[in-house]
Amino acid sequence: MATKALCIGINDYPGTDNDLSGCVNDANDWAEELDRRGFTVSQLLDRDAKRAAMVKAIGALIDGAVKGDTLVITYSGHGTWVPDSSGDEPDGRDEALCPYDLVSKGALIDDDIHELFARRAAGVRIILISDSCHSGSVTRGLETDLDPDLPRVRFMPPQAWMKGTLPPPLLSTVAPRSGFSRAGGDLLLAGCQDHEYSWDTRFHGRPNGAFTYYALKTLREVKPTTYQKWFDAIRTYLPSTRLPQSPQILSSRKPRSYKIFK
């Protein structure tokens, strides 16, 4: 049984005036944690995380896996949306990840990720961890580690990178669902709901994503044994007053009881 991971972190978004600060740290932190747990880890950071490179790296990871393997993909960067053209989205929007060359090559939408994940062999386990925007608000949680200045959202407005007039999404009376639920992996841990933002901020003087910071903090300090217990521990911190994001866990019942990264 092999354990492999791909950690993607993008701070720099040329041509958008929407650069971030904590995403590369996030990717390095995930890589360090997964390496410590015996994973073979590859990374795509900033200019190396172009759209074609992301598709190639995710595809290679999945195509090379066999029954019994566990794959972990982490993404820290901007999230965005595009109008759904296929009619498969209740809210009329395809959620998307933003590669480094977003302006010239476009976003990596959830349909693209679904197609990549569908190539996996039977018995291959895929965990996707996305610290990017889809977005919202509640007031609770602990903030003792958070630096006092305001954080920045990890949402890339479509108007910041799409040329011309943005067409409206398809009309729907269905409430937005949590992003990337169609991706096809066993389990998704996401920084927030579709209608919320994930926050790019700083803890003890070091930039990080809020979700990544608390996910790793609870993993190391609480030492949860399953994904559900890990998620419950993260929710003691998020959402909070200054970090109004509601982390999501999406899977069928069984994967929530899996041992973490096994």
Catalytic residue list contains 98: no
Please enumerate in sequence order all residues whose Cβ is within 8 A of that of 183, keeping only pairs 6 or more positions apart, or say none: 110, 113, 114, 117, 128
List Cβ neighbours of 52 (8 Å cut-off, separation of 6 or more). Answer: 105
For residue 150, the Cα-to-chain-centroid distance in whole angstroms is 21
- Alpha carbon distance 198, 213 (integer Å): 12
* Contacts of 43 by beta carbon, 8 Å cutoff, 6+ apart: 6, 7, 8, 9, 27, 28, 31
Place of tokens 């993260």: 234
Write down the catalytic residue from 7, 23, 98, 133. Answer: 133
Q: How far apart are CA 111 and CA 85, in angstroms?
A: 11
Q: In what side-by-side order are the strands of the sheet with 40-45?
A: 40-45, 3-9, 70-76, 125-131, 187-190, 248-250
In sequence order, what are the residues at sequence separation of 6 or more whose Cβ sits closer than 8 angstroms to the Cβ of residue 48? 100
Is 7 considered catalytic here? no
* C-alpha–C-alpha distance, residues 132 and 4, integer Å: 22
**Catalytic, out of 23, 78, 98, 192:** 78
193: tokens are 């709901």
- Known catalytic residues are 78, 133
